[in-house]
């Protein structure tokens, strides 16, 4: 059975899975996304975050926290946005439509956004194709492959580096090397490593001229007062981030042992999700769904199965569904 959902083929779609297999959301664990199941503990939120327009001081404090956490160099710009998806949708409008290189199979909203803006998608390797724009996901989703940047030209009209999953790996960001280059936009998200997808907070880091244009596209007050407060507190809590990385390393090893014992092979991923090669991914997804565990399959790779980590207290359910 293939994943329910729209033409863009995302993880999620749990409502459709419930309609097909029964149960309620409380019965299911959704492992089709790569969201940390041990999210950052949401701090107490001041009432004014709900009742007043987001203020400049709160935005500046969030900006400072983001710059410190990702070690953004002076001269690079930072823009907070209502989720990385809102940035992805607008980025293709930053340059005249032409050819964009998206070589590796990856998060498909990038391709969808560029196509919608009239760009031609190029999948050839660098020596075989000229393109005005380049999109890479670092680490890639779903393979987990890391992008070194080797062999890339010094400048393009637009280079997009999506680091939504990069914070699981301390110090492997490309912010310091790439954010000062013309045409570069680096994406960050609080939805994955921090597990706060519902807060809807993402960041664009890079070329000040492009970041300013993105800000104009988003308009005034793009980020809610709640997101400004929660994001700032989360980014300032380095102790939590360090503990979270350690916990993820332990738990992903536990999941690998469970899934490999059933005949799967680990072929990629990060500590937030794993990509397994199996004999028939649709059959595996169906078997897991009967145990109320939702997984991610890929129409272009019938032997690929992706699993996120289960929440605390739900490991027995995953183990039972794998039998």
- Domain holding 105: CATH number? 3.40.640.10
Tokens in use for 201? 């907070």
Find the domain containing 302 and state its range.
14-39+239-322
Q: Which of 216, 236, 256 is the endpoint of a domain?
A: 236
Q: Strands 158-162 and 184-189: what pairing?
A: parallel
Residue 9, pLDDT > 70, answer no
- The verdict on residue 160 lying in a domain is yes
151 plus 287 within the same structural domain: no
- The verdict on residue 252 lying in a domain is yes
Rounded to an integer, the average pLDDT of 189-203 is: 98
Q: What is the pLDDT of residues 92-121, one digit of tens each?
A: 999 999 999 998 899 999 999 999 999 999
> Do residues 78 and 61 make contact, with C-beta atoms less than 8 angstroms apart?
no
Distance CA 194, CA 249 (A): 15
Higher-confidence residue of 60 and 10: namely 60
Q: Measured between alpha carbons, how far is residue 207 from residues 93, 119, 135 in Å? A: 15, 21, 15
Band of residue 11 on the pLDDT scale cut at 50, 70, 90: low
Band of residue 312 on the pLDDT scale cut at 50, 70, 90: very high
Tokens in use for 139? 């680490």
- The verdict on residue 5 lying in a domain is no
Rounded to an integer, the average pLDDT of 271-293 is: 97
Q: Which of 193, 221, 236 is the endpoint of a domain?
A: 236
pTM: 0.93
Nearest to 122 by CA among 88, 99, 140: 99
- The verdict on residue 6 lying in a domain is no
34 plus 105 within the same structural domain: no
Band of residue 7 on the pLDDT scale cut at 50, 70, 90: very low
164 plus 307 within the same structural domain: no
Per-position b or e across 32-58, b if 16+ CB within 10 A of its CB:
bbbbbbbbbeeeeeeeebeeeebeeeb
Question: Around 110, how many Cα atoms within 13 Å sit in the side-chain half-sphere?
Answer: 26
- The verdict on residue 9 lying in a domain is no
193 plus 146 within the same structural domain: yes
Rounded to an integer, the average pLDDT of 218-238 is: 97
Q: What mean pLDDT is reported for the chain?
A: 94
> Do residues 169 and 192 make contact, with C-beta atoms less than 8 angstroms apart?
no
Distance CA 155, CA 61 (A): 31
Residue corresponding to tokens 């998206």:
102
Residue 1, pLDDT > 50, answer no
State the pLDDT at residue 130.
84
- What is the total count of domains within the chain? 2
Bridge partners of 134, per DSSP, are 101, 159
Other C-beta atoms lying within 10 Å of the C-beta of residue 24: 8
Rounded to an integer, the average pLDDT of 292-300 is: 95
State the pLDDT at residue 150.
87
Q: Strands 77-81 and 202-206: what pairing?
A: antiparallel
Q: Strands 202-206 and 184-189: what pairing?
A: antiparallel
Q: What is the pLDDT of residues 51-77, one digit of tens each?
A: 999 999 999 999 999 999 999 999 999
């Amino acid at each position: 059975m293939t994943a329910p959902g729209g033409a863009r083929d995302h993880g999620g779609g749990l409502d459709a899975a419930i309609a097909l297999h029964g149960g309620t959301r409380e019965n299911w664990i959704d492992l089709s996304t790569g969201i940390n199941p041990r999210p950052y503990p949401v701090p107490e939120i001041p009432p004014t975050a709900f009742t007043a327009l987001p203020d400049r001081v709160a935005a500046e404090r969030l900006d400072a926290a983001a710059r410190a956490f990702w070690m953004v160099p002076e001269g690079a710009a930072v823009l907070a946005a209502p989720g990385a998806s809102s940035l992805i949708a607008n980025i293709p409008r930053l340059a005249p439509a032409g050819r964009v290189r998206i070589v590796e199979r990856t998060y498909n909203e990038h391709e969808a956004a560029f196509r919608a803006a009239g760009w031609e998608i190029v999948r050839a390797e660098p020596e075989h194709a000229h393109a005005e724009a380049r999109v890479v996901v670092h680490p890639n989703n779903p393979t987990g492959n890391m992008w070194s940047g080797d062999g890339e030209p010094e400048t393009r009209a637009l280079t997009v580096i999506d680091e939504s999953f990069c914070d699981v790996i301390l110090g492997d960001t490309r912010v310091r090397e790439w954010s000062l280059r013309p045409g570069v936009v680096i994406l960050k998200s609080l939805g994955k490593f921090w597990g706060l997808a519902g807060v809807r907070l993402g960041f664009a880091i890079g070329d000040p001229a492009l970041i300013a244009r993105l800000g104009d596209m988003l308009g005034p007050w793009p980020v809610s007062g709640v997101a400004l407060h929660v994001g700032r507190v989360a980014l300032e809590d380095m102790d939590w981030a360090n503990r979270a990385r350690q916990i993820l390393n332990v738990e992903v090893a536990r999941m690998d042992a469970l899934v490999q014992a059933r005949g799967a092979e680990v072929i990629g991923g990060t500590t937030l999700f794993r990509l397994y090669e199996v004999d028939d991914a649709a059959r595996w997804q169906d078997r897991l769904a009967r145990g109320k565990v939702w997984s991610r399959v890929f129409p272009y790779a019938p032997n690929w199965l992706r699993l996120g980590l289960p929440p605390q207290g739900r490991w027995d359910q995953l183990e039972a569904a794998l039998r």
